[in-house]
Structure 1
């Protein structure tokens, strides 16, 4: 996908260089200085570049920007922007401040190295004024570099850097166009932008959750992550080396059953880790993009999404939006960030559907390969009971209905503790589905108040009324 008014990298750089109302600095660490190099190659860079710097040595970098625990991190990026922008304005404010929009661009990156097979990724950002003399704003993003060679990764990083700077300077009033423009002259096979955040007085009206959702919707990344306090985060910031429990659903609205599912799964995970381990179990509520698109023809309803996110975050839950329809893809995503146990929480009806062959048509090994990938890295399925009707029988994992040919596979999974049965403390509510609760809210049936997740402010349900 490319932005409206698609332009080459050279075209973008030349437009910036020929506009004498913008002037700034470039600080790049870890993958050459490819962003600023684009400004030098095109010509007329004196109109844009006040300074460029690359502090590769850790001692030199610490001396300039201060010490940090992780050099490729949001923390280091912000320190770089703080330092460079302060120097820029201190030295040039009096001379050019009346008619110049100052900016500082920075990145800190781990690119492919000699005999290095680790994760290639980086943080980049820009601090800028939207008008001369005004307060500054930040745009920060995290990128995964997918090219197989260092040189190709450097090239991709330079293009993305130009796209960020150009979008920040010219597309500030058009979020959709800004997001699309980040991939100009790039492909999803080269880079993945999995976090985007706007900060500052000129971006006060921007909901960063919608920004990150747009990254998923428009194909820049398969996932977007929001912490329990509503902040946009890069997944590693939440999941790095931590045990995880994830519940997939639509959460329209979150219910008492949802909360009990999480409680039961968390108890099972704590038992697996061992009593007294003290390890924090990260709970995640995951909404698939298919779920969001299914609710509305023509695209995602952003207001609906924000309302769901508000409810989940009011309950203190992390929210993940993903394009992972298949469970083995979700498992691989979490395993990228942690080597600790992962519990994927499913209701019995959904668990039974996992034995349908159509989920695995793209895999050469079919259903066996799919389950093999799913359970590869300390992943277990936590299966929660269900009921079809009030007062009806409670169906548990022991009564799972799968094709006869798959029964031995299910028995193998249970014997080897790949799947585990959960209990329920709200069996009398199991037959109520989220769609039933939503209908009650819309119909003014007060029973919904006994079915939704407790401790949620009533105003969060106003969108249904």
Structure 2
């Protein structure tokens, strides 16, 4: 880094809000703009109040009127203003003005930044709690390109004034983190909650980009959000970038597949393809309004109590290479997953699972924390005509194929199971490939680690090549026996 940020030492304790703002204000090299829409100018006021703001703030503005906003940043095709696209336009426009209006020759050491947010706070009816996008585009060296940190927040407070104050604190924490904690992105995430309670705000999407974040994998940052309790679920697309769950789930039909995908096998893809064919033939399910989600739970990622990040990345790379959208959630129970989806859509939903997973759903031990027990859970699970597409499983002891007609649940659950089955909630997948039923991820994983032959044929096209190329799941080329 060409410019040394003055006073860049670790604080033993969390600095106060004033201390954070003042530290930035007193750094003679940091100079930038603030543009805030939808919740006042809550972030920049911290810098004005701290003192010395003239050395930091080139401009502070709030283009509240839509016509003014469109005249400055351009109109959005969909007419919406609280969007990631809007935020990017704001950041790009303000940085361009900085470069035009502050001569580099006269300010060779200046490192520019632009902070922006576009939010909507809680409405008067308190029906919609509000959400928003905020981000910073910034330099750490005047000769380098800009870095960017973009995040989406969802408010949990029920008063607009409190939401505004919280937004201002998060914004200050973001700016401070960008300049003084950029080298520790995982810690930067935690510092976003300095001086606010975890239950006041949810961060469900974050993306890092730029020359100082080339080593940052945004999928791992997604994982951190769930691990740290900042959100209950995150999603990322085939390109590896985090995507806002609401953007992909809103008013969509949803087909979800939960699994370990360690690694993704021919069985996983057969489950997906066959259940998808059934789903799009359902009443009111239009293909262009349907999304497929491959979900991995946090508990599934844990190995001996700790989450193995390398193992997680191995799974993520393979699913992304197959063009899939991946979701990491903290929902151990299926009904919680359905509740989450129901926040964003009232359209059709379906879950694809194996026989063993359905048996687990009918295990009462998972619902003891609910006052209504398993009945309450099932009322939520089968909300809005949700259906389960059941993939058969070979019984390792008998060699017989288990379906919805032969699976065994606890005696106390038999009548409940019959009720859902005979009311069309559980649908067997019949056109499965019988030649792959003996493929299990855990066995493939063991074969890879032990250098045995034959596992390649158990995986979708291209997956074995990726595993070998990247040495995923403990694969070591020298373990493979040569003829």
TM-score normalised over the length of structure 1: 0.94
Structure with more relative contact order (C-alpha pairs < 8 Å, separation 6 or more): 1
The whole-number CA distance in structure 1 between the counterparts of 2:378 and 2:16 is 44
Cα displacement string for residues 233-259 of structure 1 (whole angstroms, at most 9, x for unaligned residues): 111222222211111111111000000
Distance 2:66 2:284 in 1: 39
Q: Is contact 1:23-1:50 (8 Å) kept?
A: yes
Does the CA-based 8 Å contact 1:385-1:424 persist in structure 2? no
- 1:320 equivalent to 2:327? Answer yes
Given that 2:203 and 2:230 are in contact with CA atoms closer than 8 Å, whether structure 1 keeps it comes out as yes
- Indicate yes or no: 2:70 matched with 1:55: no
TM superposition shift of 1:50: 1.3
> Which among 13, 30, 35 is matched to residue 27 of structure 1?
35
Which stretches of structure 1, 4 residues or more, deviate above 3 A after TM superposition? Answer: 93-97
User: How is 1:248-397 mapped onto 2 (pairs within 5 angstroms)?
Assistant: 248-273=258-283, 277-293=286-302, 295-297=303-305, 299-389=306-396, 392-397=399-404
Deviation at 1:424, TM superposition (A): 4.8
Query: 1:154 is matched with which residue?
Result: 164
- Is this contact kept in 2: 1:81–1:104, CA < 8 A? yes
**Post-superposition offset of 1:411:** 2.0
SS, match of residue 225 in structure 1: strand
Q: 77-86 vs 368-377, which deviates more?
A: 368-377
Q: Do the aligned residues in 2 keep the contact of 1:97 with 1:132 (CA within 8 Å)?
A: no
User: Which stretch shifts more, 141-150 or 409-418?
Assistant: 409-418
Deviation of 1:229 (Å): 2.5
Partner of 1:46: 54
- Aligned to 1:93, what secondary structure does the other structure show? coil
In structure 2, do the counterparts of structure 1 residues 269 and 97 end up closer, same or farther at CA, with 3 Å as the change threshold? farther
Q: Which moved more, 1:161-170 or 1:284-293?
A: 284-293
Q: Which runs of 5+ in 1 are unaligned?
A: none
Q: Which of 96, 111, 117 pairs up with 1:107?
A: 117
SS in 2 for 1:402: coil
Q: Could you list the per-position Cα deviations for residues 397-432 of structure 1 after superposition, in whole angstroms to 9, with x for gaps in the alignment?
A: 112212233222222212332222222522232233
Kindly indicate whether the alpha-carbon contact (under 8 Å) linking 2:294 and 2:327 is maintained by their aligned counterparts in 1.
yes
Q: Provide the alpha-carbon RMSD of the alignment.
A: 1.9
- Cα distance in structure 2, aligned partners of 1:278 and 1:324: 27
Write the distance in 1 (CA, Å) between the matches of 2:178 and 2:384: 40
Q: Deviations over 1:273-314 (max 9, x none)?
A: 468x44343111111111111x255x3222221111111111
Helix, strand or coil: the match of 1:253? coil
Contact in 2 for aligned 1:242/1:279 (Cα 8 Å): no
Do the aligned partners of 2:120 and 2:132 also contact (CA within 8 Å) in 1?
yes
1:448 and 2:455 are equivalent in the alignment: yes
Contact between 1:347 and 1:384, CA under 8 Å: does it hold in 2? yes
